[in-house]
Amino acid sequence: MNAARWQAPQEDGGTLIEPPPSDWPKLVKTNVECFRTIETRFCGVSLADWRSQLRALVAQLATVQLQRWGENLRWSEGRFLVTGHQPELFHPGVWAKCFAIAEPAPKIGLVPLNLVADQDQPKPLAIRTPVRKERGLTTEWVPFCDANPSLAWEEYAISWGQDNPLPTLHAQPQTSSSIPTHSAPNLCSEEFFQNFPKQVVQICGDLLPDMILPRFWSLAMQLAARLNPPACLAETLSGARRLWEQRWGYRNAELRVSTLADTEPFHAFVVTLLNQLPSFVQQHNTELYAFRRENRLRSRTHPVPSLRSAEGWCESPFWAWMRGQPRQPLWWSARNDGWQLRLGEAGPILQVRAVRRREDLAVWRQVLQQAGWKIRPRALTLTLFARLFLAELFVHGIGGAIYDRFTDRLLWRVWGIKPPHYTVVSATLRLPLPRPASPPWNRAELIQRLRDCQFNPDRVLPSETLALAQVQSLVARKRALLLQWAEASREQRPVLHRQLAEICEALRPMTRQVEAELRQRLNILADYQAQLALVTARDWAFVLYSDSALTHLVENIRQKFSVLRGV
């Protein structure tokens, strides 16, 4: 793929699908052939066996998840077309990925699966809304949860009413252990959650009278009341989104990463990396530094931070934490015949037996569960695991696709695995906000005139000021000095420069009114540019858009995939 094409569309309603939909069946076929050639083993088990087990397990877990949302849709087993994102109220360009797996999946014999990245940490538990002020458009942040956004999504819950027993998600169907329903200590109050759409409508309802938020939030509140209290915030928001998608005929499978990360295949992936962690850290950082040099990236956090080593400890590419606590990097150290795990740089330490065989995984998982530890993937290891263990084809957004170019290098360097293909999907949808009137001035010209106020005040003085005898004398003197400058010697020029500066100092006080007017115009232009940026922005929460605008985007994507005839 040509990464230069990974640009967000400029036109309203435009889409980015790269490679084009007609190539997707071929990509799937190529990936399947690639997986057949992989000989790497995880805990002594072939990747093919892990993929088969995980596909069956994900089909069952996704079925149970949809039952919790009130929908009976079953997959006995499936091959998956996968995408994923955090459970936030993201912009329509992100939502386009869900549409882009729903459309082609049945035509190429796959099940569309969206992974809800609830192991990630929310930025704010709020959305940015446009608001009309006296000077024009500006923005306000409106929170939908009154908890402190310092934990992973899976730790937040809504303190809702009735206790209604629902199916429980089991990571291993053959055992009695189950995934917790995430009744986290960080609770969002029912009243605060319920009042969110009223707050938004009060702020920007005049600008966006057709937004879907009130109807969407009604779905979310119905789900929150239905789910085992307290309702998981991530499960509630992603469930409401999933139910909304049904109006377009979409029936995607959904699974939270917190559930996926409690499966045996994921733990096999984790301990395989831990077994080779010192080498992995070195290879990771070597490839990372090379990637930054080649792409001229100066940031120490892009595409991912480097992994650290200190005093026999290595930082792993995973998060770990205890229930209700902030995420910490998982650190690992080998001690005799066992391992030490540590939460962050100075957190609690857990002693565990080294895990090298599949038979050791049950004890490993039991120790973690008894200690109350959660191990979750970071962004890099999530897509690495999903592409390697689960997906026939993975659909990225632009940002994910950019950092997965680094993941591809890592796959080849660490395991000698030819990276499976992925695709890139995004879209642009703008809100129908009033466009500000364009001021009649050019910013570059205003800045030049402002500079002239300081260094060439005679160029900006009004005609009535230039007509004054004193001013005419100073301007004539300046012209004469400039004529002398061309033939002046090196010794003479400092004297001429000083005389010119004295003339500027004498004229500068007369430009104060002009300078004030120029600065005022620049401020007006800055306000215009800021308002224009809001009008043309594509990153508004999808709940602020109208149903007709979102449906139009769906139809655009549907038309793009109409080239596929089916299998």
331, burial (CB in 10 Å: exposed 0-12, middle 13-18, buried 19+): buried
Model confidence band, residue 567 (pLDDT cutoffs 50, 70, 90): low
* Helix pair 277-294, 264-275: axis angle to 10 deg: 90
Contact indicator for 181, 512 with CB cutoff of 8 Å: no
| Alpha helix stretches (DSSP H) within 137-261 | 190-204, 213-226, 233-245, 257-260
HSE (side-chain half, CA atoms, 13 Å) at 377: 26
- Per residue in 159-178, pLDDT (tens digit) is 865 444 455 554 543 332 33
pLDDT band for 565, please (50, 70, 90 cuts): confident
Model confidence at 65: pLDDT above 80: yes
Task: Tell me the per-residue pLDDT of 12-30, one tens digit each, with 9 for 90 and over.
Answer: 999 999 999 999 999 999 9
Q: 124-151 pLDDT, tens per residue?
A: 899 999 999 888 899 999 999 988 878 9
Q: Which helix (H) or strand (E) holds 158?
A: strand 156-159
Q: Is the pLDDT of residue 179 over 50?
A: no
Residue 262 has pLDDT above 70, yes or no: yes
Residue 298 phi, psi dihedral angles, 5° rounding: -95, -20
Which pLDDT score, from 0 to 100, does residue 182 have? 37
- The confidence score (pLDDT) of residue 187 equals 86
Q: Is residue 228 very low, low, confident or very high in pLDDT (cuts 50, 70, 90)?
A: low
Instruction: Report the share of the chain in percent with pLDDT over 90.
Output: 84
Global pTM value: 0.89
Q: What's the N-to-C CA distance of the chain in angstroms?
A: 25
- Whether the pLDDT of residue 497 is over 90: the answer is yes
pLDDT in tens, 449-466: 999 999 999 999 999 999
330-343 pLDDT per residue, tens? 999 998 889 999 99
**What's the chain's average pLDDT?**
92
Residues 502, 508, 513, CA angle at the centre, nearest 5°?
Answer: 175
SS (H, E, C) 71-140: CCCCCCCCCEEEEEECCCCCCHHHHHHHHHHHCCHHHHCCEEEEEECCCCCCCCCEEEEEEEECCEEEEE
Give the pLDDT confidence score for residue 174 in this predicted structure.
37
C-alpha of 116 from chain center? 12
pLDDT band per the 50, 70, 90 thresholds, residue 438: very high
* pLDDT (mean) for 469-485: 92
pLDDT computed for residue 167 by the predictor: 55
Residue 74 confidence class, pLDDT cut points 50, 70, 90: confident
Q: pLDDT at residue 471 above 80?
A: yes
3-state secondary structure of 84: strand
Give yes or no for residue 227 having a pLDDT over 90. no
Range 496-515 average pLDDT = 93
% of the chain surpassing 70 pLDDT:
94
Q: Which of 326, 323, 325, 322 is nearest to 349 (CA)?
A: 322
d(C-alpha 501, C-alpha 198), whole Å: 62
Residue 71 has pLDDT above 60, yes or no: yes
Residue 515 has pLDDT above 50, yes or no: yes
pLDDT reading at 489 higher than 60: yes
Number of C-beta neighbours around residue 369 at 10 A? 13
